[in-house]
Structure 1
Amino acid sequence: MATERDRERPQERTAPRIRLDLPRDRRRRLIPEYDPEAFGRLSERIARFLGTGRFIVWMTVIIIAWVVWNIVAPKSLRFDEYPFIFLTLMLSLQASYAAPLILLAQNRQDDRDRVTHEQDRKQNERSMADTEYLTREIAALRMGLGEVATRDWIRSELQDLVKEMEERRDLFPYEPSYRSDEPDR
């Protein structure tokens, strides 16, 4: 049975508890969602195509066919009479879409260039630091070698000693002594 306290308190409706270990349900949006990277790649493809000779040739062929059809065809089959207003509208529409797509592709290229330049700058900094380190090490080795006896220096010192000994021999010829090798006690 319900107690008095339960009767006094109105029935509370508690919202279902949200579990933190489960992802939320996706909300419906009125605006369609799109992948900006996929859209960017598509815009780069279109911009790349718009900058080719193939596009210019096809565009020229289509415009010439359009104009010729609307001049030569029987009146009942013509769909765009002489000032070619529909053709002008189509070219304006194509240009209004092409310009932003080209700008988007250029912005993406600028972003890639910026990243590349930043990586190059960091690599150059590392190379400069390595070069300075190696320069200091080489300078330290040269200073250390200045204090170390080299083979050529030792050879010249030995030659000087040999000459000095020969000069002494000439001044003081060898005199055999009949003394014993035992030291005096």
Structure 2
Amino acid sequence: MAAEREGTRDRPAGATAAGRSRAGRLDQPRPLRRRLLPEWDPDAFGRLSERIARFLGTGRFIVWMTVVIILWVVWNVAAPGPLRFDQYPFIFLTLALSLQASYAAPLILLAQNRQDDRDRVNLEQDRKQNERSIADTEYLTREIAALRMGLGEVATRDWIRSELQDVMKELEERQNGHHTHAVFPADHPRGRDMDDR
């Protein structure tokens, strides 16, 4: 017990903490673990399945499959007996076609699922873009309405011209009124009184 205590005294204080915290640290990558099963990239497998499903949906695949089946049947009917590898009920051909169908269906479903995921992401992006467009349109509509209200209070050229004409008329009337007072001072009642006296 004393030797263990001395060993712990000689060991640095942070050694056990660092050893313990290294496993739980998030700023360092985890050490690689050996796996028994081989690793595979699901995205690469999905792309391959999409290519296969795309090829299965073309007329070229139907033509090639028809040619292979016709050659298979003709060979196993017309070839000499020892060279035939699939006799008349064509059990091996049936097995090959059922195997192809059993693999084609999940590959097509996987490709459809990936397409659905892409469509969902595209629809979400379109929805966000539509929301942004609607918000921008509403903002522009409010700005145009504010500009129209502001322009309603702005003086136009015709209004300024009519106001200037009114001011000019008032000035002319005042000037004409001052001249008449100056020319005919007797018109003023006070002036007439003073002249009479």
- Classify the TM-score, shorter chain: 0.7 to 0.9
Q: Is 1:24–2:21 an aligned residue pair?
A: no
Which segments of 5 or more consecutive residues in structure 1 lack a partner in the other structure? 8-16, 179-185
| Residue in 2 that maps onto 1:5 | 2
Structure ranking higher in helix proportion: 2
RMSD of Structure 2 on Structure 1 (CA): 2.8
- Equivalents in 2 of 1:117, 1:160: separation in Å? 64
2:117 paired residue among 111, 115, 123:
111
After superposition, what is the alpha-carbon deviation per residue over 1:73-118, rounded to whole angstroms, capped at 9, x for unaligned?
0111111111111101100000100110011011101101111110
- Equivalents in 1 of 2:105, 2:29: separation in Å? 44
Check 1:172–1:79 CA distance in 2 against 1; reply closer, same or farther (3 A cut). Answer: same
- Equivalents in 1 of 2:127, 2:108: separation in Å? 28
1:158 paired residue among 158, 161, 164:
164
- Equivalents in 2 of 1:122, 1:81: separation in Å? 62
TM-score (norm 1): 0.77
Q: CA deviation at 1:148?
A: 1.5
- Equivalents in 2 of 1:163, 1:64: separation in Å? 107
Q: Which one has the largest radius of gyration? A: 2
Q: Is 1:130–2:136 an aligned residue pair?
A: yes
- AA aligned to 1:5 is A
- AA aligned to 1:125 is E
| Residue in 2 that maps onto 1:96 | 102
Which segments of 5 or more consecutive residues in structure 2 lack a partner in the other structure? 5-18, 184-197
Q: CA deviation at 1:130?
A: 0.6
After superposition, what is the alpha-carbon deviation per residue over 1:31-75, rounded to whole angstroms, capped at 9, x for unaligned?
332100000000011111111111111111100100110110011
- AA aligned to 2:34 is R
Return the structure number with greater relative CO, CA threshold 8 A, min gap 6. 1
TM-score (norm 2): 0.73
